[in-house]
Amino acid sequence: MKRRVLLSLLASASASAALASGSLNVARAADLRRRHVLVLLELRGGNDGLNTLVPFRDPLYRAARPSLALQDALPLTDTLGLHPALAPLLPLWQQKRLGFAQGVGWSRPNRSHFKSADQWATANPSGEGPGWLASAFDQRRSTGPLVALDPAGSSAMEGGKALALQLSPVQLESGNSKILYPDLAGNNSVLRQMLALEQIGQAEIAKLRQQLMPLPVGVKIPKGNLGQQIALALRLIGSASCPPVLQLAQGGYDTHANQLVRHNRVLGDLAKALVAFDTGLQTIPNRPQVTLVSVSEFGRRLQENGSRGSDHGSASIAILYGDRIPQPLLGSYPSLSLLDERGDLIPSISPPQLYENVLKQTFPV
Amino acid sequence: MPSVSEICSNLPRDKRVACRRSTAGLLQRQWLQELVWGADQDSAWQVQIWLGVFPVNWRQLIDPDLLTQQMSTIRNNLKGTFGDLLGAMVLDPALQISLNGPANQQHNPNENLARELLELFSLGEGNYTETDVREAARALSGYKLNKSRQLQLDPRRHDPGMKTILGRTANFDGVSLASWLSEQPATARNISLRLWRRLVGPQPSAQRLGTLASGWRESNLSIPWLMKAIQSAPEAIESKRQGLRLTDPLEVTARSLRLLGSRHPDAVAIALRGLRSMGQMPFEPPSVKGWPVNEQWINLRRLQERRRTLQALLTDEEVWAGARLPTELSSNITPIKPLNISLPAKASRDNLALLFTDPVWQLA
């Protein structure tokens, strides 16, 4: 990191600290409501879009998936239904707080989880360069912080000038560590940079931790990692200085075998967590606007495999949730008859287009 | 050297993913152990450094065991010249496959290998034209893996015509191209710089780099000459004395494991899991540029991961039970005084925790 960047980070960190120490007055409450929080939800493993938002009337769907086709999808439109495990989300759909981007993906995506995750994180087919959120914040000259709540962090947030932090539920329990001042480094440049960065990070984390709201009363947080992340997200959103970007992650979507049971379980956990998130948000009086978008490496093949599962495919769906969902269904559902040469669904929205759409709503330039 | 023999592509299709994963896992475990406790650590670390110059991610290979071939080729060239090493790498199956070499055919060119060869493995950015890339791709066309898993020129796929590369027109193939590239002054500069950054840390002055590169060319690009010349440069000695270089995650992990002395399998498992989150899992370079060096590693989350992993090594009871600690933590185990603990100190668990979480422990 360049020295100039460090200095500007230091300046912005102290400026926002001064801001946060002021009392919460009326103007501030209005200001909070004008602000926006973008929540990035990473569904790791490659979520099966076809069995999430289901083209349940399409005979091609049933033909390609003799053991996986869902018989009991919950109709949202004439042609599309929700996986039954997502039933708790139906009220959110009716309230127009839930939507889907259809046919999202790279055309002919790389089949590797690793490469594909990099492509999504960077919004670049090469998979190289800074994360898309890091770039967006640099472009807006905003310093963040961008906060990952999953212990593995999020490469979408890294590689830019904005401060990318990780605040996992575990870290909240550990005490404050001793602050080491950059001056201790003398003229050792690399040590000085490390100490300066650690100092900023520690100060930001201490500030976030100090200002955390208690968990809203009456919200039932589901067990498991995602539930813990949702709880922490709610406490941050309720605090006076919620970071503009939060990341959550849930694993278990790589359903090569025995998909019905496994997909049912992860989607059920996801639905419970989103309902808890929504219930929690409703109880927070003055809070920023919230938009959530889900990402996943790829969708899965239309044709099921020989292990009652599905292999890595192409286009899938992205979940959109929040206070201002522009339209319930973005883009068009991929055709099941017009496939690419590998037999995969053809995407109509690329990841960069999805991101642009979300950023336009949340952080217009 | 790691030894794995499983050839995953010989297995039925549904067994290959598991085979690749387990082969890679075995390689990673063996290699970490060799870097930490091996009999010839100096050579092992040199191999690791060159694996950063010619990086291959096992996920790009149908047969990750090809990496062992790449590693022994590198090791066999450590006492030789860079020209020979470059020639061997251009014909290395792992490196070629990772850069779509076998897909590059006369009538169906693929420039991936040619471009990286010019940009990263030899001349460096700005020292060649797009025409050079196209012509180099023609020279590299038609290599194919034979039954004994060596790359061989297939005359039906190779472009036999004349190619003009960096001003010389000849009937180049992979070998003569590598040799022509290694004669270029830009190559000596680029490779000296890459090694300097990894071994010394801070950027060299233009003058130092110039002297180093021309001296290296006079030595016929002898690899031992370059290693010695870099390490005995005044800046390198000063960097070592003052701890001016930030270690790679692999180095600091190896150093911590060595100090702890526990060879419990959990120690290796914790270290490997940590290396992935710190960004330097062996055989998983983030890109064809290899791994970051020195200040490029500075990233808050990754620095946090370094501390978290070293702490995890200390909190595991079984790992701790196997610890073989020195009688005391002497003052020469860090280049400069640590900030959290004054040395020498008793080699207790608490003191090790203070040392492992000290930013100075991260310096080389």
**d(Cα B63, Cα B50) in Å, to the nearest integer?**
20
Q: Backbone phi, then psi, for B220, in 5-degree steps? A: 65, 35
Strand partners, A294: A41
Does residue A216 sit in helix, strand or coil? coil
Dump pLDDT digits (tens) for B8-49. 999 999 999 999 999 999 999 999 999 999 999 999 999 999
Beta carbons of A53 and A80 less than 8 angstroms apart: yes
Closest partner residue to A190 among B57, B201, B299, by Cβ? B201
Structure tokens at B297: 């590693």
Dump pLDDT digits (tens) for A244-287. 999 999 999 989 889 999 999 999 999 999 999 999 999 998 89
Do B25 and B64 have their domain in common?
yes
* B300, B340, B362, best to mutate vs chain A, most A CBs in 10 Å: B300
From chain B, the residues in CB contact with A158 under 8 A are 299, 301
Cite the beta strand spans of chain B per DSSP E.
143-145, 151-153, 163-165, 168-170, 328-329, 345-346
Give which of A282, A276, A283, A268 is closest to A220, Cα–Cα.
A276
Do B21 and B82 have their domain in common?
yes
Q: In terms of CA atoms, which chain B residue is nearest residue A183?
A: B339
Beta carbons of B253 and B309 less than 8 angstroms apart: yes
**pLDDT value for B287:** 86
Do B61 and B148 have their domain in common?
yes
Omega of the bond leading into A145 within 30 degrees of 0 (cis): yes
Do B201 and B308 have their domain in common?
no
Does any CB of chain A come closer than 8 Å to the CB of residue B245? yes
Give 3-state DSSP helix, strand, coil % of chain A, rounded to 5.
40, 15, 45
Domain boundaries, chain A: 36-175+216-362
Q: In terms of CA atoms, which chain B residue is nearest residue A127?
A: B287
Burial of A264 (0-12, 13-18, 19+ CB in 10 A): middle
Do B254 and B150 have their domain in common?
no
From B242, B261, B288, give the residue that closes a domain.
B242
From chain B, the residues in CB contact with A196 under 8 A are none
Buried b (16+ CB within 10 A) or exposed e, B111-132: bbbbbbbbbbbbbbeebbeeeb
Give which of B319, B314, B301, B318 is closest to B357, Cα–Cα.
B314
**d(Cα A364, Cα B274) in Å, to the nearest integer?**
38
Structure tokens at B335: 């280049």
CB contact under 8 A, A164 and B363: no
Residue B254 lies in a domain: yes
Give which of A201, A192, A166 is closest to B363, Cα–Cα.
A192
**d(Cα A162, Cα A164) in Å, to the nearest integer?**
6
Residue B3 lies in a domain: no
Do B169 and B192 have their domain in common?
no
CB contact under 8 A, B300 and A195: no
Residue B2 lies in a domain: no
Give B336 to chain A, closest Cα distance, Å: 10
Closest partner residue to A194 among B57, B277, B303, by Cβ? B303
Do B24 and B61 have their domain in common?
yes
Give A146 to chain B, closest Cα distance, Å: 11
From chain B, the residues in CB contact with A128 under 8 A are 287
User: Number of Cβ pairs closer than 8 Å across A and B?
Assistant: 67
Domain containing residue B22 = 8-182
pTM of the model: 0.72
Give B176 to chain A, closest Cα distance, Å: 30
ipTM for this prediction? 0.90
Structure tokens at A115: 């490469």
**d(Cα B32, Cα B258) in Å, to the nearest integer?**
11
Residue B221 lies in a domain: yes
Structure tokens at B228: 């010695």
Does any CB of chain A come closer than 8 Å to the CB of residue B363? yes
From B135, B164, B182, give the residue that closes a domain.
B182
Strand partners, A329: A100
* A167, A176, A194, A247, best to mutate vs chain B, most B CBs in 10 Å: A194
Does any CB of chain A come closer than 8 Å to the CB of residue B112? no
Residue B164 lies in a domain: yes
Give A364 to chain B, closest Cα distance, Å: 27
Q: Measured on CA atoms in the order B32, B36, B38, B44, is the torsion positive or negative?
A: positive
Look up tokens 């190289």; give the residue.
A128
Contacts of A295 (CB under 8 A, 6+ apart): A40, A41, A42, A43, A120, A156, A318, A351
**pLDDT value for A5:** 34
From chain B, the residues in CB contact with A195 under 8 A are 359
Nearest-5° Cα angle at A255, A252 to A259: 110
Beta carbons of A320 and A99 less than 8 angstroms apart: yes
**pLDDT value for A170:** 65
Does residue B35 sit in helix, strand or coil? helix
Strand partners, A101: A318, A330
Does any CB of chain A come closer than 8 Å to the CB of residue B359? yes
Do B161 and B28 have their domain in common?
yes
Beta carbons of A147 and A166 less than 8 angstroms apart: yes
Closest partner residue to A190 among B277, B294, B357, by Cβ? B294
Do B44 and B165 have their domain in common?
yes
Give B206 to chain A, closest Cα distance, Å: 20
Beta carbons of A157 and A123 less than 8 angstroms apart: no
CB atoms within 10 A of CB A352: 15
Beta carbons of B262 and B319 less than 8 angstroms apart: yes
Contacts of A27 (CB under 8 A, 6+ apart): none
**pLDDT value for A171:** 65
Residues of chain B with pLDDT under 70: none
Residue B104 lies in a domain: yes
Beta carbons of B183 and B172 less than 8 angstroms apart: no
Give B294 to chain A, closest Cα distance, Å: 8
Cite the beta strand spans of chain A per DSSP E.
36-43, 53-54, 74-75, 81-82, 98-104, 146-148, 164-166, 245-250, 289-295, 316-322, 329-330
Q: What is the full per-residue pLDDT of chain A (365 aa) written as tens digits?
A: 333 333 333 333 333 433 344 444 555 666 777 899 999 999 999 999 999 999 999 999 999 999 999 999 999 999 999 999 999 999 999 999 999 999 999 988 877 776 788 899 999 998 878 899 999 999 999 888 999 998 777 889 988 888 888 887 766 665 555 677 899 999 999 999 999 988 888 888 888 888 899 998 889 999 998 999 999 999 999 998 899 999 999 999 989 889 999 999 999 999 999 999 999 999 998 899 999 999 999 999 999 998 899 999 999 999 999 998 989 999 999 999 999 998 999 999 999 999 999 999 999 98
Q: What is the DSSP letter of B120?
A: I
Do B295 and B193 have their domain in common?
no
CB contact under 8 A, A180 and B359: yes
Q: Backbone phi, then psi, for A165, in 5-degree steps? A: -120, 165
Closest partner residue to A190 among B245, B287, B299, by Cβ? B245
For domain A36-175+216-362, the question of CATH label 3.40.720 is answered with yes
The DSSP secondary structure of B165-210, one letter per residue, reads ETTEEE---HHHHHHHHHTSHHHHHHHHHHHHHHHT-SPPPHHHHH
Closest partner residue to A193 among B242, B295, B336, by Cβ? B295
**d(Cα A184, Cα B290) in Å, to the nearest integer?**
32
Do B349 and B254 have their domain in common?
yes
Give which of A311, A280, A277, A312 is closest to A294, Cα–Cα.
A277
Q: Backbone phi, then psi, for A80, in 5-degree steps? A: -115, 140
Give which of B102, B99, B104, B175 is closest to B134, Cα–Cα.
B104
CB contact under 8 A, A184 and B339: yes
**d(Cα B171, Cα B162) in Å, to the nearest integer?**
5
Does residue A43 sit in helix, strand or coil? strand
Give A186 to chain B, closest Cα distance, Å: 10
Dump pLDDT digits (tens) for B72-81. 999 999 999 9
**pLDDT value for A4:** 31
Does any CB of chain A come closer than 8 Å to the CB of residue B106? no
Give which of A163, A142, A143, A168 is closest to A153, Cα–Cα.
A168
Report the domain count for chain B: 3
Do B90 and B169 have their domain in common?
yes
**pLDDT value for A2:** 33
